[in-house]
């Protein structure tokens, strides 16, 4: 797909639902006892993979007007052995969280995914789940898909997490619902807590105290009505675009503002960004609000430590913003980027270099010196949705044409990205 520079971004936008929350809404609804209504569900390929997996295990799921979903939950132990493999496509959240649920089922099933999923490490999930009693096999000692799981007879776990990962944490929490004793999970650093918030509303017995999470087994979950807020990870592209394109002003409505996800706003504030949060409220336990962003002169910052999990998916677009900031931006402690949909340290550095940015790759991040006038280039998306979208924003401030290869991968998390971008571009 081709992109050219524009003069400004201007307008009001409403985003599709949050990807992390959409996945969880279908998963938890499927194992609840009764009918669940989900509003503003993200109809991206990843979340559709989750729906597909639960349908294959006998859950009746209806999609309404391409936005709302009704899930007829079958109960914690009511899933059926699928006739075939469960295909998670490109979705890391699907494969890792579903392993927690499958660990509690009395049947054997196999999880497969696309080329990217097959390269992503799974031991971080399979090891604690095996310790709890699940029988799991996978390539290279359970580290890579295809993964075969046979669950049942789980015991609680006391687990100190070696990495900050909401996917790992969530898989263990889900398996803990099925265990015969309580579990304690100690996080390395606070990661997104949508599982804890949502499962509590379904009636799970979860107590959080700082980095410690205690989970007691339960007999059943109660069905819910869930509103999925707009995805801050999708908002990030417009937040960054409006901040770096002169004369821009964008109002992004109903964005999820859970503090475990708003690292990009903390960074933008430090960079001297011009934004305001309006109409803040709490829906289904999640903070929500509108974000009004205007262009401003940015300065470089250092991003590290506990802030990293709060913006891990936004680093590609933050790197693009940093090329327009005065001075140096250092991003470190972000080794996890190497095992996302692509190696995002390499994907960002390689592509920004092609556009003429002053950027250096680090073992656990990158260093960017700005500001630089970017030039159009042939960009490799590496089939990674967040790379494709980050570089489409970079192209809007570049001179010359930019071509982004395999741009269709944006459908993974944000099928309406181009329509929205076109509508507010001048
Ligand atoms: C997610 C957690 C994060 C994030 C991913 C979604 C989730 O991954 O990068 O896009 O929904 O729990 P990790 O848990 O591997 O950090």
CA dist 96 and 297 (Å) reads 40
Residue nearest to atom 4 of ligand 1 (CA): 313
20 CB less than 6 Å from ligand 1? yes
Neighbours of 193 (CB within 10 A): 21
173 CB less than 6 Å from ligand 1? no
Q: Which of 47, 166, 170, 333 to mutate to test the pocket of ligand 1 (most atoms within 8 A of CB)?
A: 166
Predicted confidence at residue 185, as pLDDT, reads 98
196 CB less than 6 Å from ligand 1? no
Judge whether 45 and 93 are in contact, CB under 8 Å: no
Q: Which of 17, 18, 20 to mutate to test the pocket of ligand 1 (most atoms within 8 A of CB)?
A: 20
176 CB less than 6 Å from ligand 1? no
pLDDT band, very low/low/confident/very high, at 152 (cuts 50, 70, 90): confident
Task: Specify the DSSP class assigned to residue 363.
Answer: T
Mean pLDDT of 186-212: 98
Say whether 280 counts as a known binding-site residue: no
Say whether 386 counts as a known binding-site residue: yes
Say whether 422 counts as a known binding-site residue: no
Active site residues: 313
Ligand 1 centre distance from Cα of residue 358 (Å)? 29
Residue 422 scores a pLDDT above 90: yes
CA dist 3 and 5 (Å) reads 7
Ligand 1 centre distance from Cα of residue 170 (Å)? 10
Q: Where exactly are the structural domains of the chain?
A: 2-16+229-424, 19-198
CATH dotted code for 2-16+229-424 = 3.65.10.10
CA dist 71 and 51 (Å) reads 9
Paired tokens of 58: 């006998």
**Closest alpha carbon to 288 in 317, 334, 252:** 252
Neighbours of 84 (CB within 10 A): 9
Name which of 110-114, 139-143, 203-207, 224-228 the model is least confident about: 139-143
Mean pLDDT of 94-112: 98
Judge whether 230 and 17 are in contact, CB under 8 Å: yes
Q: Tally helices (H) and strands (E) across the chain.
A: 13, 23
312 CB less than 6 Å from ligand 1? yes
Mean pLDDT of 321-333: 98
Predicted confidence at residue 326, as pLDDT, reads 98
pTM given for the model:
0.98
Paired tokens of 205: 């017995």
Phi, psi of 384 (to 5 degrees): -110, 115
Predicted confidence at residue 16, as pLDDT, reads 96
Judge whether 332 and 361 are in contact, CB under 8 Å: no
Mean pLDDT of 267-292: 98
| Percentage of the chain lying above the pLDDT 90 cut | 98
Q: Which of 124, 167, 317 to mutate to test the pocket of ligand 1 (most atoms within 8 A of CB)?
A: 167
Say whether 120 counts as a known binding-site residue: yes
192 CB less than 6 Å from ligand 1? yes
Residue count of the chain? 426
Mean pLDDT of 140-147: 95
Mean pLDDT of 55-61: 98
Name the residue with tokens 């250096």.
360
120 CB less than 6 Å from ligand 1? no
Q: Tell me: the pLDDT tens digits for 71-85? A: 999 999 999 999 999
Predicted confidence at residue 322, as pLDDT, reads 98
Residue 15 scores a pLDDT above 90: yes
What distances in angstroms separate CA 125 from CA 97, 103, 122, 267, 313, one per listed residue?
A: 9, 11, 6, 30, 20
Q: Is 284 helix (H, G, I), strand (E, B) or coil?
A: coil
CA dist 346 and 262 (Å) reads 24
Domain 19-198 has CATH 3.30.1490.20: no
Mean pLDDT of 406-414: 98
Judge whether 410 and 389 are in contact, CB under 8 Å: yes
Predicted confidence at residue 371, as pLDDT, reads 98
Judge whether 406 and 381 are in contact, CB under 8 Å: yes
């Amino acid at each position: 797909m081709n992109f050219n520079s524009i003069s400004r971004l201007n307008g009001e936008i409403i985003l599709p639902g949050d990807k992390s929350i959409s996945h969880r809404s279908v998963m938890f609804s499927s194992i609840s006892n009764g009918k669940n209504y989900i509003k503003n569900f993200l109809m991206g390929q990843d979340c559709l993979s989750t729906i597909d997996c639960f349908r294959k295990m006998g859950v009746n799921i209806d999609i309404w007007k391409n936005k709302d979903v009704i899930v007829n939950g079958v109960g914690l132990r009511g899933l059926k052995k699928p006739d075939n493999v469960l295909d998670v496509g490109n979705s890391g959240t699907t494969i890792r969280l579903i392993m927690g649920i499958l660990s509690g089922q009395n049947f054997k099933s196999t999880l497969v995914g696309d080329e990217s999923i097959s390269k992503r490490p799974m031991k971080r999930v399979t090891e604690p789940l095996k310790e709890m009693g699940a029988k799991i096999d996978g390539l290279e000692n359970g580290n890579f898909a295809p993964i075969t799981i046979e669950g049942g007879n789980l015991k609680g776990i006391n687990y100190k997490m070696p990495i900050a990962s909401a996917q790992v944490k969530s898989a263990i929490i889900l398996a803990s619902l099925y265990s015969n004793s309580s579990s304690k999970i100690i996080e390395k650093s606070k990661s997104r807590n949508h599982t804890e918030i949502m499962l509590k509303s379904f009636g799970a017995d979860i107590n959080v105290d700082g980095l410690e999470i205690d989970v007691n087994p339960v007999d059943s979950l109660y069905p819910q009505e869930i509103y999925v807020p707009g995805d801050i990870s999708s908002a990030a592209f417009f937040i960054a675009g409006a901040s770096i394109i002169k004369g821009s002003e964008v109002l992004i409505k109903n964005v999820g503002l859970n503090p475990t996800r708003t690292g990009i706003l903390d960074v933008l504030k430090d960079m001297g960004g011009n934004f305001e949060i309006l109409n803040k409220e709490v829906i289904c336990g999640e903070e929500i609000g509108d974000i009004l962003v205007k262009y401003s002169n940015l300065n470089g910052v250092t991003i590290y430590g506990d802030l990293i999990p709060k913006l891990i998916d936004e680093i590609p677009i933050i790197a693009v913003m940093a090329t327009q900031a005065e001075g140096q931006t250092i991003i470190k402690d972000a080794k996890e980027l190497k095992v996302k949909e692509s190696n995002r340290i390499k994907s960002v550095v390689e592509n920004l270099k092609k556009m003429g940015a002053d950027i250096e790759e680090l073992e656990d991040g990158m260093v960017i010196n700005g500001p630089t006038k970017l030039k159009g280039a042939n960009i490799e998306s590496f089939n990674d949705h967040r790379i494709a979208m980050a570089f489409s924003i970079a192209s809007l401030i570049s001179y010359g044409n930019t071509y982004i290869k395999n741009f269709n991968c944006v459908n993974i998390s944000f099928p309406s990205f181009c329509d929205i971008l076109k509508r507010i571009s001048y």
